[in-house]
């Protein structure tokens, strides 16, 4: 089951090695360096932080506030909310890795802030601190692989 | 309490989110629980003392209400159930053992619970319905069980969400509450139960059905499968003694078997999800129950039969079930979408805190329109850097306010930007932009601003006031050779100072004025010249300047005072300004002339290089020259995807801008990007069949290459001046009025040599052109040497170098501050108490104040200690 339905608080704490946590063992100073290389964006309720079809290659970490993920559905391609997401979530990492157009629009439900790390900023980070960049890439790839496994399991289980 | 500031609820909110939106105080629930426990004790008493009444109150009035409560507002029961109240008492008063239930308990307690339910409910028919003592003991037993469960196990795992016989019934009926009342027990949740209803009421049942463990979900399916049969059996089988006990239980068994059979038949043959069938079975059980119990209940309440009421209530149950069924079906799709949705990646709590703290550093909000992008920037960052960091469409060139590549319009908050400098103002004037415009590179952010990147939003500049300028009316015609920044600035200033004369501006290149400093962008960028032009098309016309593009000045005839164009036309002049710039210096090398050898001086050079790389699918580039131009060209080719080697003759890069230590920092970064830096490398020549393929060094080393870029410095364009017999050293020699030896001929920019120097810098060309123009129009202006400031335009390197940085005498003092971890290196050269030069790597915010101190020649002796300690912002108080 997805954690988001039964996110029991005690488990969140006793499971630091949760397989979808990005860089669980990174000390704070490394995060501070990442922040230095990224951009902090503010958003207001209703702002589109990511637009479906955009081609910018960045990933984001939500610092404050809540956003909804909208995906075009049906033949009218009307945007429908599939999920909400809030502080602490990493979003957009797939387009960051594959450079493909964004598959969803992410719209702010509240005001808030997020950290944006673009491919360009990442390049700069990688040149200065190859170790950090390698950590990030490896971990993003690991998480992607975990998700793929989950998806495969799910399909094997429920798609007759 | 107002809830307006709360985020809206997600599609399947959990109880903490629901609680935040709830208006019912937790204390009220606690009070209700006290009442319900007391009432239960009274009921037990009643059953023992006055069984007749007790049995009616309990079995005939209260119990028939329960399914409806589970169905409509299950949260109400979960919150006030007396068993739950007792079960949670040890937790509330802190004497629970808080054990985590063992695996077998977690798996089978539900099964035990539903077996207990089936056993007790079927036994009503011969035991509980008529026996006050048995019923009283049943309730009392349940109270004790619930309490003990709470003493031993954590959360509700000891009873309410495990063993409780009513729990399976609740789970099928409470799938889609009409009224959701959030859990008021668990503060906080201790995660005691899988797919906990109390935690997330909207999806708990679906989560059970879709659980990964097939046994887990099958126990639940089994229960719902037997349920309608069980209910029907209860109401249709005769009560003992009309039946023997054995036949009674046999009957129940047969009904349930039939029910299960139907369920699995449907599951196999209907092409719908199991959830559709479980929901349908729930609906059937519910309606069956009330079909039979409504008339009896009404009878108990009112003491009379009422057909109308019975049918009315049955109808109401049916309608409610319809709604319930529709809602239950409707949510399966979003639920599935959600669980099939890629799960969310998160950061740890510690990381989240670092991020939050990073936003508290007094940052200011810069809003870009029309993108509606809000960026929180640290104070003193420039708008240009901010825009670049966010991939906004803004060009850049000099990064010091003199080229005009990055005009922006300030919609709001002009007072929150660093004040406008003279250089910037004159650039804005050249662009014809008015009071709300700025150059982004010169706007350091101090507070909130909103900015438009649509330059059409700018107010026009005030008309140029040239009426009182001193000009010589005998000057009728001014000719300017060169349509670079020197020539264009000269033309602009001649016009400002002389409203009447004819101005001819001759440019060999095909383009109106463009941003020469940014031409390496043409190598890797996909937008060719667009964005590189620095002025609107109408610029020349508006100033009555006749521009000759794609036209070469072939000769100058000083005796007849005309310029002969290569087209054959003659342009007479009273004053002539030579702003022919420079070309790239090409050292003598073997193989010169082979295709694949490039220089970078003009837009055409860069565009041809890009075309060549595509045509020959070039993979490797060698850059000869580790100066600014070489590095920028190398970076451009790197971005285009080539492997780049940079050859530098001396022992470090950027000899003119950096000392050795600073250069190490830079080299580390460039190598980190993947560029190959080779020092002590002197170019001998190139070989290759038909095109450049191998670069040779004087020491014998060789490098494969598809492209060779020679960036070995500049060579002022002096051919025309030669013909004039003017004095020439590296460039055309000029005095402080920018005058050559011929009084009516001036030279400026890269073509001119002043005080022994050809600096080859944009701001120098601008300043010199202003002086030459004023003098050419009959005024009197003198050129004051400016301290050269240069910046490297490679993304990720913030390098500014000002003036000199190596001491020339023992009295001169050097201060260096470095922070390897932060990739920062700063250096000051102080001569006679004044800063005469500086290097900044990775600390752009110190640049403006130090530049100002250098310009104003401030005595910094009082600040030496602070400067040594790296606190260079103290200088702000000195200017
Ligand atoms: C890639 C690159 C990056 C640079 N970066 C910086 C920087 O960061 N900071 C900085 O300060 N400077 C920089 N410069 C240098 C700066 O661009 C020059 O100093 C400046 O352009 C000089 O201006 P100018 O008008 O004197 O000469 P130019 O800009 O060279 O203009 C001269 C014009 O005259 C034309 N011309 C020449 N002969 C004739 C003729 N006979 N007839 C007609 N037309 C003729 C030429 O074709 C040319 O268009 C850079 C230069 C390059 C190439
Ligand atoms: S899982 Fe959490 S919410 Fe559910 S009963 Fe246990 S403690 Fe309460
Ligand atoms: S004026 Fe801003 S980059 Fe040149």
CATH number at residue B394: 3.10.20.30
Look at the alpha carbons of B414, B418, B422, B426 in this order and tell me if their dihedral is positive or negative: negative
Look at the alpha carbons of B738, B740, B745, B748 in this order and tell me if their dihedral is positive or negative: negative
Query: What is the structure's pLDDT at A6?
Result: 82
Looking at the fold, whether B746 and B628 belong to one and the same domain comes out as: no
- State the nearest Cα–Cα gap between A143 and chain B, in angstroms: 7
Given a cut of 90, whether residue A134 has pLDDT beyond it is yes
Query: What is the structure's pLDDT at B605?
Result: 97
User: What residue in A sits closest to B9 (Cα-Cα)?
Assistant: A84
Given a cut of 50, whether residue A16 has pLDDT beyond it is no
Given a cut of 90, whether residue B330 has pLDDT beyond it is yes
Looking at the fold, whether B52 and B198 belong to one and the same domain comes out as: yes
* C-alpha to C-alpha distance for A57 and A101, rounded to whole angstroms: 9
Percent of chain B at pLDDT exceeding 70:
98
Query: What is the structure's pLDDT at A13?
Result: 43
Looking at the fold, whether B124 and B199 belong to one and the same domain comes out as: yes
Query: B3: pLDDT confidence band, cut at 50, 70 and 90?
Result: very low
* C-alpha to C-alpha distance for A64 and A25, rounded to whole angstroms: 22
Query: What is the structure's pLDDT at B363?
Result: 84
Q: Which residue has the tokens 């609740």?
A: B170
Looking at the fold, whether B209 and B254 belong to one and the same domain comes out as: yes
Q: Which of B712, B697, B707 is nearest to B628 (CA)?
A: B712
Query: B560: pLDDT confidence band, cut at 50, 70 and 90?
Result: very high
Of B692, B712, B732, at which residue does a domain stop?
Answer: B712
* C-alpha to C-alpha distance for B817 and B864, rounded to whole angstroms: 13
Q: Which of B123, B97, B119, B71 is nearest to B192 (CA)?
A: B97
Mean pLDDT for all residues in chain B: 93
Q: Are B548 and B565 in contact (CB under 8 A)?
A: yes
Q: Which residues contact B184 (CB under 8 A, 6 or more apart)?
A: B19, B24, B26, B29, B30, B79
- The ligand 2 site (C-beta within 6 Å) comprises A 8; B 155-156, 161, 183, 186, 189-193, 196, 198-199
- State the nearest Cα–Cα gap between B808 and chain A, in angstroms: 33
List the single residue in A32, A116, A150 with the smallest CB-CB distance to B358.
A32
Report yes or no on B301 lying in a domain: no
Q: Which of B412, B398, B408 is nearest to B431 (CA)?
A: B408
Torsion of CA B24, B27, B30, B34, to 10 degrees: -110
Report yes or no on B626 lying in a domain: yes
- The ligand 1 site (C-beta within 6 Å) comprises B 398, 481-487, 506-509, 516-517, 519-520, 552-553, 579-582, 600-601, 629, 632, 717, 720, 749-751, 760-763, 765, 790-791
Given a cut of 90, whether residue B105 has pLDDT beyond it is yes
Q: Are B828 and B815 in contact (CB under 8 A)?
A: yes
pLDDT in tens, B420-477: 988 899 899 889 898 999 999 999 999 999 999 998 888 888 776 555 567 888 999 9
Of B683, B712, B741, at which residue does a domain stop?
Answer: B712
Q: Are A30 and A49 in contact (CB under 8 A)?
A: no
Query: What is the structure's pLDDT at B5?
Result: 64
Looking at the fold, whether B701 and B723 belong to one and the same domain comes out as: no
Report yes or no on A127 lying in a domain: yes
User: What residue in B sits closest to A47 (Cα-Cα)?
Assistant: B372
Q: Are B626 and B737 in contact (CB under 8 A)?
A: no
* DSSP states of B167-211: HHHHHHHTSS-SS-----S-SS----STT-TTT-TTTHHHHHHT-
Q: Are B661 and B825 in contact (CB under 8 A)?
A: yes
pLDDT in tens, B159-174: 999 999 999 999 999 9
Report yes or no on A134 lying in a domain: yes
pLDDT in tens, B175-196: 999 999 999 999 899 989 999 9
Give me Rg for the CA atoms of chain B: 44
* C-alpha to C-alpha distance for B287 and B284, rounded to whole angstroms: 5
Report yes or no on A69 lying in a domain: yes
pLDDT in tens, A39-65: 999 999 999 999 999 888 999 999 999
Q: How many domains does chain B have?
A: 5
Report yes or no on B175 lying in a domain: yes
Given a cut of 90, whether residue B731 has pLDDT beyond it is yes
Looking at the fold, whether B723 and B702 belong to one and the same domain comes out as: no
User: What residue in A sits closest to B195 (Cα-Cα)?
Assistant: A6
Report yes or no on A125 lying in a domain: yes
Q: What ligand is nearest to the CA atom of residue B191?
A: 2
Report yes or no on A18 lying in a domain: no
Report phi then psi at B144, rounded to 5: -65, -45
Beta bridge partners of B369: B452
Q: B212: which 2 tokens?
A: 């990964």
Compute, in angstroms, the gap from residue B794 CA to the centroid of ligand 2: 56
Looking at the fold, whether B678 and B770 belong to one and the same domain comes out as: no
Helix (H) or strand (E) holding B597, with range, is: strand B597-598
Mean pLDDT for all residues in chain A: 86
pLDDT in tens, B626-641: 999 999 999 999 999 9
Given a cut of 60, whether residue B139 has pLDDT beyond it is yes
- State the nearest Cα–Cα gap between B437 and chain A, in angstroms: 24
Answer with the residue of higher pLDDT: A3 or A104: A104
Q: B502: which 2 tokens?
A: 């004819």
Q: Are B778 and B475 in contact (CB under 8 A)?
A: yes
- State the nearest Cα–Cα gap between B270 and chain A, in angstroms: 13
Before B188, cis peptide (omega within 30)? yes
Query: What is the structure's pLDDT at B275?
Result: 92
Q: Which atom of ligand 1 lies nearest, measured to the CA of B763?
A: 11
Mean of the pLDDT values across residues B134-139? 96
* C-alpha to C-alpha distance for A51 and A108, rounded to whole angstroms: 12
Mean of the pLDDT values across residues B95-100? 94
Looking at the fold, whether B817 and B838 belong to one and the same domain comes out as: yes
Answer with the residue of higher pLDDT: A4 or B656: B656
Residue B488 belongs to domain with CATH number = 3.50.50.60
Given a cut of 90, whether residue A160 has pLDDT beyond it is no
Residue B70's Cβ-side half-sphere holds a number of Cα atoms within 13 Å equal to: 20
Query: What is the structure's pLDDT at A1?
Result: 37
Q: How many domains does chain A have?
A: 1
Compute, in angstroms, the gap from residue B384 CA to the centroid of ligand 3: 9
Q: Which atom of ligand 2 lies nearest, measured to the CA of B185?
A: 8
Before B241, cis peptide (omega within 30)? yes
Residue A74 belongs to domain with CATH number = 2.60.120.10
pLDDT in tens, A84-104: 888 999 999 999 999 999 989
Query: What is the structure's pLDDT at B370?
Result: 86
Q: Are A119 and A136 in contact (CB under 8 A)?
A: no
Query: What is the structure's pLDDT at A81?
Result: 78
Looking at the fold, whether B551 and B638 belong to one and the same domain comes out as: no
Query: What is the structure's pLDDT at A158?
Result: 59
Q: Are B443 and B408 in contact (CB under 8 A)?
A: yes
* DSSP states of B351-379: HHHHHHHHTTSS-EEEEEETTTEEEEE-T
Q: Which residues contact B750 (CB under 8 A, 6 or more apart)?
A: B484, B486, B581, B582, B714, B716, B717, B731, B758, B760, B765
Q: In chain A, which residues have their Cβ closer than 8 Å to the Cβ of B350?
A: 28, 31
Q: Is B406 in the pocket of ligand 3 (CB under 6 A)?
A: yes
Domain hosting residue B820, numbered range: 798-878
Q: Which residue has the tokens 């426990």?
A: B37
Q: Is A95 exposed, middle or buried (0-12, 13-18, 19+ CB in 10 A)?
A: buried
Mean of the pLDDT values across residues A131-145? 94
Q: Are A158 and B210 in contact (CB under 8 A)?
A: yes
* C-alpha to C-alpha distance for B226 and B233, rounded to whole angstroms: 11
* C-alpha to C-alpha distance for B637 and B645, rounded to whole angstroms: 10
- Total residues found in chain B within this entry: 879
Looking at the fold, whether B450 and B543 belong to one and the same domain comes out as: no
Given a cut of 60, whether residue B1 has pLDDT beyond it is no
Mapped to the 3 state alphabet, what secondary structure does B818-854 carry? EECCCCEEEEEEEECCEEEEEEEECCHHHHHHHHHHH
Q: B580: which 2 tokens?
A: 């022919």
List the single residue in A24, A89, A126 with the smallest CB-CB distance to B344.
A89
* C-alpha to C-alpha distance for B288 and B234, rounded to whole angstroms: 10
Query: B676: pLDDT confidence band, cut at 50, 70 and 90?
Result: very high
Query: B341: pLDDT confidence band, cut at 50, 70 and 90?
Result: low
Q: Which residue has the tokens 């397989």?
A: A19
Q: A86: which 2 tokens?
A: 């809030």
Domain hosting residue A54, numbered range: 26-158
Mean of the pLDDT values across residues B553-578? 96
Q: Are B57 and B162 in contact (CB under 8 A)?
A: no
Report yes or no on A15 lying in a domain: no
Q: Which residues contact B267 (CB under 8 A, 6 or more apart)?
A: B274, B277
- Count of CB atoms situated within 10 Å of the CB of B793: 20
Look at the alpha carbons of B377, B381, B384, B385 in this order and tell me if their dihedral is positive or negative: negative
pLDDT in tens, B732-779: 999 999 999 999 999 999 999 999 999 999 999 999 999 999 999 999
Given a cut of 80, whether residue A159 has pLDDT beyond it is no
Looking at the fold, whether B762 and B830 belong to one and the same domain comes out as: no
Looking at the fold, whether B721 and B705 belong to one and the same domain comes out as: no
Of B224, B250, B272, at which residue does a domain stop?
Answer: B272
Q: Are B67 and B289 in contact (CB under 8 A)?
A: yes
Report yes or no on B462 lying in a domain: no
**B572 phi-psi bin (left φ>0, alpha ψ -120 to 50, beta other):** beta
Query: What is the structure's pLDDT at B342?
Result: 62
């Amino acid at each position: 089951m997805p954690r988001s339905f039964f996110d029991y608080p005690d488990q969140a704490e006793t499971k630091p090695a949760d397989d979808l946590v990005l860089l669980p063992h990174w000390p704070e100073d490394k995060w501070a360096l990442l922040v230095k290389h990224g951009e902090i964006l503010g958003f207001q309720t209703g702002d589109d932080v990511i637009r479906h079809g955009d081609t910018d290659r960045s990933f984001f970490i939500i610092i404050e506030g809540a956003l909804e993920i909208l995906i075009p559905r049906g033949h009218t391609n009307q945007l429908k909310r599939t999920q909400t997401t809030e502080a602490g979530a990493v979003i957009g990492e797939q387009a960051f890795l594959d450079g493909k157009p964004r598959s969803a629009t992410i719209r702010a439900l509240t005001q808030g802030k997020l950290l944006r790390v673009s491919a360009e900023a990442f390049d700069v980070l990688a040149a200065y601190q190859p170790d950090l960049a390698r950590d990030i890439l490896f971990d993003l790839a690991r998480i992607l692989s975990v998700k793929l496994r989950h998806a495969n399991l799910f399909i094997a289980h429920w798609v007759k | 309490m107002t809830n307006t500031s709360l985020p809206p609820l997600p599609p399947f909110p959990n109880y903490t989110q629901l609680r935040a939106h709830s208006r019912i105080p937790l204390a009220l629930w606690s009070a209700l629980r006290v009442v319900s426990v007391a009432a239960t004790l009274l009921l037990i008493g009643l059953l023992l003392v006055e069984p007749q009444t007790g049995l009616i109150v309990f079995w005939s009035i209260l119990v028939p209400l329960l399914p409806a409560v589970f169905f409509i507002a299950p949260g109400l029961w979960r919150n006030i159930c007396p068993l739950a109240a007792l079960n949670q008492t040890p937790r509330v008063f802190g004497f629970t053992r808080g054990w985590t239930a063992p695996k077998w308990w977690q798996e089978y307690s539900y099964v035990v619970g539903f077996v207990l339910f089936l056993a007790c409910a079927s036994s009503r028919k011969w035991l509980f319905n008529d026996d006050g003592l048995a019923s009283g003991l049943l309730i009392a037993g349940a109270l004790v069980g619930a309490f003990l469960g709470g003493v031993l196990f954590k959360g509700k795992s000891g009873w309410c969400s495990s063993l409780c016989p009513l729990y399976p019934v609740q789970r099928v009926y409470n799938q889609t509450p009409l009224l959701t009342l959030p859990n008021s027990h668990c503060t906080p949740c201790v995660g005691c139960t899988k797919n906990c209803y109390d935690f997330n009421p909207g999806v708990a049942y679906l989560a059970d059905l879709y659980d990964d463990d097939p046994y887990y979900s099958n126990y639940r399916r089994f229960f719902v499968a037997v349920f309608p049969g069980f209910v029907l059996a209860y109401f249709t089988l005769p009560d003992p003694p009309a039946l023997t006990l054995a036949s009674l239980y046999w009957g129940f068994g047969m009904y349930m078997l039939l029910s299960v059979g139907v369920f699995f038949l449907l599951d196999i043959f209907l092409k719908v999800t199991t959830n559709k069938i479980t929901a349908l079975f729930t609906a059937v059980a519910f309606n069956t129950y009330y079909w039979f119990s409504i008339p009896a209940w009404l009878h108990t309440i009112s003491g009379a039969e009422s057909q109308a009421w019975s049918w009315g209530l049955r109808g109401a149950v049916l309608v409610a079930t319809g709604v319930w069924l529709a809602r239950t079906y409707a949510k399966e799709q979003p639920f599935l979408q959600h669980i099939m949705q890629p799960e969310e990646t998160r950061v740890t709590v510690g990381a989240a805190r670092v991020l939050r703290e990073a936003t508290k550093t007094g940052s200011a909000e810069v809003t870009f329109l029309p993108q509606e992008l809000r960026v929180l920037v640290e104070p003193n960052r420039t708008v240009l850097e901010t825009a670049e960091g966010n991939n906004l469409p803004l060009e850049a060139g000099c990064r010091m306010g003199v080229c005009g590549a990055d005009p922006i319009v300030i919609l709001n908050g002009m007072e929150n930007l660093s004040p406008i400098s003279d250089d910037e103002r004159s650039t804005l004037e050249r662009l014809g932009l008015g009071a709300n415009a700025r150059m982004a590179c010169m706007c350091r952010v101090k507070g909130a601003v909103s900015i438009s990147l649509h330059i059409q939003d700018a107010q026009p500049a005030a008309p140029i006031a040239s009426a009182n300028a001193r000009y010589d009316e005998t000057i009728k015609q001014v000719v300017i050779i060169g349509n670079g920044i020197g020539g264009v600035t000269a033309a602009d200033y001649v016009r400002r100072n002389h409203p009447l004369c004819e101005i001819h501006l001759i440019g060999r290149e095909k383009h109106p004025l463009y941003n020469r400093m940014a031409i390496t962008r043409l190598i890797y960028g996909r937008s060719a010249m667009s964005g590189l032009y620095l002025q609107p098309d109408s610029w020349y016309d508006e100033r009555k300047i006749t521009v000759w593009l794609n036209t070469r000045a072939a000769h100058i005839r000083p005796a007849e005072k005309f310029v002969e164009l290569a087209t054959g036309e003659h342009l007479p002049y009273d004053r002539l300004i030579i702003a022919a710039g420079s070309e790239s210096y090409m050292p003598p090398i073997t193989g010169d002339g082979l295709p694949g050898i490039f220089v970078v001086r003009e837009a055409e050079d860069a565009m041809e290089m890009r075309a060549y790389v595509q045509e020959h699918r070039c993979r490797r580039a060698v850059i000869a020259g580790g100066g600014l131009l070489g590095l920028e060209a190398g970076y451009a080719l790197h971005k285009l995807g080539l492997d780049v080697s940079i050859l530098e003759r001396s022992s470090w890069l950027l000899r003119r801008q950096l000392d050795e230590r600073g250069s190490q920092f830079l080299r580390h970064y460039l190598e980190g990007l993947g560029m190959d830096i080779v020092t002590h490398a002197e170019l001998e020549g190139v070989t290759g069949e038909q095109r450049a393929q191998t670069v040779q060094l004087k020491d014998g080393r060789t490098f494969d290459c598809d492209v060779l870029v020679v960036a070995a410095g500049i060579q002022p364009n002096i051919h025309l001046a030669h013909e004039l017999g003017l004095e020439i050293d590296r460039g055309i020699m000029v005095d402080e009025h920018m005058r050559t030896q011929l009084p009516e001929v001036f030279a400026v920019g890269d073509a001119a040599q002043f005080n022994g120097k050809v600096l080859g810098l944009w701001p120098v060309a601008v300043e010199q052109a202003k002086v030459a123009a004023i003098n050419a129009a009959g005024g009197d202006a003198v050129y004051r040497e400016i301290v050269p400031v240069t910046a490297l335009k490679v993304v990720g390197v913030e390098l500014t170098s000002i003036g000199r940085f190596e001491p020339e005498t023992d009295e001169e003092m050097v201060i260096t501050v470095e922070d390897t971890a932060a990739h920062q290196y700063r250096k000051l050269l102080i001569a006679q108490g004044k800063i005469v030069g500086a290097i900044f790597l990775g600390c752009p915010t110190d640049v403006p104040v130090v530049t100002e101190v250098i310009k104003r020649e401030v005595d910094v002796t009082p600040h030496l200690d602070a400067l040594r300690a790296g606190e260079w912002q103290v200088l702000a108080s000195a200017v």
